[in-house]
Amino acid sequence: MQTSLTAADQRARDDRMRRLELRALALNRSRLADYVELTKPSIVGMIVVTVAAGFYLGAPGPIDLPLLLHTMFGSALVAAGSNALNQVLERRVDAQMRRTKNRPLPAGRLRVSDATLFAWAISVVGVAYLAVFTNATVAALAAATLASYVFVYTPLKRKTSLCTLIGAIPGALPIVGGWAAAQGTVSLGAWILFALLYLWQLPHFLALAWLCRDDYARAGLRMLSVTEGAEATFRQALLYTVALLPVSLVPTLLGTTGPLYFAGAMVCSLWLIWATGSVAREHSRGKARRLFVVTVLYLPAVLILMMIDKAG
């Protein structure tokens, strides 16, 4: 009888241990997911794609695959660290907005000190990695991207609606870094790509800011949609979209791309102008959402066309 009880007790203890182990494993997975969320992986993915596009377009000959992979990896680390630092600095702002209040820091799932250490660690490692495995220009561009995004754009969001114009700079620098990794220098072609991404971001973010204007107002962020309203927001979006049309055609004029890209970029840019003009005439959520979707589709379409029809 005693042996039977002891065996039953042992099974019960084993069951408790398994439950504790499963709970610990779930907690570790949850913490890992929170650290991943801190980096904003969708944004990191988009940045890595632009880096790869810049590298391909800037490569003077066959693609150096190891160098490309080093560039993408280092850039991903810096982008992830920049996004994490942004969330550290904006944790109180995020707590006031519906779409961000459940992020790891405002929700209290991560400690600020742990998040800060993690963010700085991967940022510094990323810049150092680029300096070692690519070149100093690429590392300097990555450091400039981090500094302008975290220490200029982030605080400006609470001070002036011009923050969007500043914030588009770090968003456009990664493609220049990809070009510089392939060529070893930053030439005119890289700055044309910078201008294209810079102008593309403005209608993209202005549409998003108008859709989220109530959240931004609640958090005290001085976006154009909050301070000036729909008329000014979409008038400016249309201005930048119209300016994007000639810029998008310059790669062919410089001989970087061929006629297929020229025709495709023309169609895509006119499509974007139509979507922006539509919401500029009628300020509805449906048309603002359509503009946002069109901007999301525009960039990969233009970059793919550029890579398919690369001259030489």
Whole-structure pTM value: 0.89
CATH number of 35-186: 1.10.357.140
Residues with Cβ within 8 Å of residue 98, at least 6 apart in sequence = 215
Give the rounded percent of residues in the chain with a pLDDT score beyond 90: 87
Given this model, what pLDDT does residue 177 score? 98
Given this model, what pLDDT does residue 252 score? 95
User: Using 50, 70 and 90 to split pLDDT, how confident is the model at 30?
Assistant: confident
Which residues on adjacent β-strands are paired with residue 257?
310
Per-residue pLDDT, averaged over 136-165, amounts to 95
Give the rounded percent of residues in the chain with a pLDDT score beyond 70: 91
* Angstrom distance (rounded) from CA 87 to CA 119: 10
Given this model, what pLDDT does residue 307 score? 94
Asked if pLDDT for residue 25 goes beyond 60, the answer is no
Given this model, what pLDDT does residue 1 score? 44
Which residues on adjacent β-strands are paired with residue 310?
257
What mean pLDDT, rounded, does the chain reach? 92
**CATH class label, 188-312:** mainly alpha
Per-residue pLDDT, averaged over 109-131, amounts to 97
User: Using 50, 70 and 90 to split pLDDT, how confident is the model at 145?
Assistant: very high
* Angstrom distance (rounded) from CA 302 to CA 285: 26
Per-residue pLDDT, averaged over 207-235, amounts to 93
Given this model, what pLDDT does residue 285 score? 95
Nearest to 64 by CA among 73, 51, 55: 55
Asked if pLDDT for residue 17 goes beyond 70, the answer is no
Per-residue pLDDT, averaged over 54-68, amounts to 95
* Angstrom distance (rounded) from CA 288 to CA 280: 9
Given this model, what pLDDT does residue 28 score? 53
The boundaries of every CATH 1.10.357.140 domain in the chain are 35-186
Per-residue pLDDT, averaged over 17-44, amounts to 76
Contact call for residues 164 and 186 (beta carbons, < 8 A): no
Given this model, what pLDDT does residue 9 score? 64
Torsion of CA 230, 231, 233, 238, to 10 degrees: 130
User: Using 50, 70 and 90 to split pLDDT, how confident is the model at 2?
Assistant: very low
The boundaries of every CATH 1.20.120.1780 domain in the chain are 188-312
Given this model, what pLDDT does residue 311 score? 83
Per-residue pLDDT, averaged over 45-74, amounts to 96
Given this model, what pLDDT does residue 15 score? 62
Per-residue pLDDT, averaged over 16-26, amounts to 56
Given this model, what pLDDT does residue 4 score? 52
- If you ran DSSP here, which 8-state letter would residue 187 be given? -
User: Using 50, 70 and 90 to split pLDDT, how confident is the model at 143?
Assistant: very high
* Angstrom distance (rounded) from CA 149 to CA 146: 5
Given this model, what pLDDT does residue 31 score? 87
